Every structure is written in structure tokens, then in C-alpha cells.
């Protein structure tokens, strides 16, 4: 178990034994990881916006994710919950609006990165939808490697087919990312903006 995101990031940084150009942290918790790694490795850190597509009647459950025009869908969940095409499209439009709003706060530098070796990080990966969307988007113009303190075993096997994945823990049983942190508090916008100023 990790004390907090900062401790997890320092441990993860020690496992990154290769060079890269930029570390991109998935907002919000992933940017804490990116900031610490950037400081440890003397690299540039940027936030990347990738959003879960949430089931309308079960907001904690995601049926996919979106990063710019890259949409990753979990067909199993869609079929199991009998989600209608209209429900899917409505949530995609909702999240596009949220992303545009977040860009006004955090900027959109991640959309301008080209021909770089990019390390995409998050504070934990369960189903992997948000990191897959972000990685697929960044892969268009860059070399991409994924790093995280913790990733579910099945997700690790799936994502590893397409991307190199660095992780500290790969549990077979992972009901929630927060279970692996003593302190897994919600990260506020102000905290991210303060870290961006320090870079």
C-alpha cells in the first residue's frame, strides 16, 4: 500500500530506467504522479485530458472514455446494460463540453506535442479506458509508454499488447484504486494549477 500519490510517484520514478521527453499526467490524480516524476527526472510535465464516459443511471460506472476525437468503448458493458445509441451519443457530447471547459482551465498543450517520446501516467489503472484513449490519441504523432503505480492484471495484459507498460503493482483482484493508497483524496483544480506554476 502506498502512503499517497507522491510516494507512489517517487517509487515509480525509480523504475523508469529509460529516457523520455515529456511526462503527461491524466487529470486530475495522474498529474500529481507526472509532476513528481518530472521533478525527479528533470523533465517537462503536462496535463492530459481524458474523460470517462459514464453510464447515465450509474455515474460511477464507465462504458468507455474520450480524449479529443479518440473514443474507446467497452462493448461488453454497453451490451450488458443495453445502452441505447442515443444515450451513448449524449454522454459523448456531454464529455466533449467538459473537456472544452477543462482546456480553458488547464490549457491544451497535450494536443500540440509531436515527434516526442511521451510517458503517460495515471495514479492507477482499473479498466484502462481513460489511459487507452489518451495513449491512442498521443500515439498518432508520438512514441508512447504508459506508467502507473498500480494496474489491474487483466487490464495490464490487454494494454501491453499495444503499449509498453511500467507498473509497481499488478494485482489480480482490484475492486478500487483507492484501496491501494492510505491517502487517496480528491485532487482539486487549484492544486493542479499550483503545480503547473511550479514547473
Mean pLDDT to the nearest integer, 161-171: 96
pLDDT value at residue 99: 96
Left (φ > 0), alpha (ψ -120 to 50) or beta: where does 172 sit? alpha
Residue-wise pLDDT tens digits, 50-106: 999 999 988 778 999 999 999 999 999 999 999 999 999 999 999 999 999 999 999
pLDDT value at residue 60: 76
pLDDT value at residue 165: 98
Mean pLDDT to the nearest integer, 104-112: 94
pLDDT value at residue 138: 97
Residues 24, 124: Cα–Cα separation, whole Å: 14
Q: Which domains does the chain have, with CATH numbers?
A: 5-50+107-198 (3.40.50.2020), 52-104 (no CATH)
Q: Could you tell me the CA-to-CA distances from 189 to 27, 100, 175 in Å, in that order?
A: 9, 15, 26
Residue-wise pLDDT tens digits, 139-156: 999 999 999 999 999 999
Q: What is the mean pLDDT of the chain?
A: 95
Report pTM: 0.93
How would residue 39 be classed by pLDDT, with cut points 50, 70 and 90?
Answer: very high
pLDDT value at residue 158: 94
Question: In the chain, helix, strand, coil percent, each to 5?
Answer: 45, 25, 30
pLDDT value at residue 174: 85
DSSP state of 125: B
Amino acid at each position: 500500500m502506498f502512503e499517497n500519490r507522491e510516494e507512489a510517484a517517487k517509487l515509480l520514478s525509480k523504475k523508469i530506467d529509460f529516457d523520455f521527453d515529456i511526462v503527461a499526467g491524466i487529470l486530475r490524480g495522474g498529474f500529481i504522479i507526472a509532476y513528481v516524476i518530472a521533478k525527479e527526472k528533470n523533465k517537462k510535465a503536462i496535463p492530459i485530458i481524458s474523460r470517462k464516459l459514464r453510464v447515465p443511471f450509474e455515474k460511477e460506472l464507465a462504458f468507455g472514455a474520450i480524449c479529443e476525437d479518440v473514443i474507446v468503448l467497452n462493448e461488453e458493458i454497453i451490451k450488458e446494460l443495453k445502452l441505447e445509441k442515443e444515450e451513448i451519443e449524449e454522454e459523448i457530447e456531454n464529455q466533449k463540453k467538459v473537456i472544452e471547459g477543462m482546456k480553458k482551465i488547464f490549457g491544451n498543450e497535450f494536443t500540440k506535442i509531436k515527434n516526442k517520446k511521451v510517458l503517460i501516467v495515471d495514479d492507477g489503472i482499473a479498466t484502462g479506458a481513460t489511459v487507452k484513449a489518451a495513449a491512442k490519441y498521443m500515439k498518432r504523432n508520438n512514441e508512447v509508454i504508459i506508467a502507473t503505480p498500480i494496474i489491474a492484471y487483466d487490464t495490464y495484459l490487454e494494454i501491453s499488447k499495444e503499449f509498453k507498460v511500467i507498473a509497481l503493482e499488478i494485482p489480480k483482484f482490484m475492486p478500487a484504486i483507492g484501496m491501494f493508497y492510505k491517502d487517496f483524496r480528491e485532487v482539486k483544480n487549484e492544486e493542479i494549477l499550483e503545480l503547473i506554476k511550479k514547473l
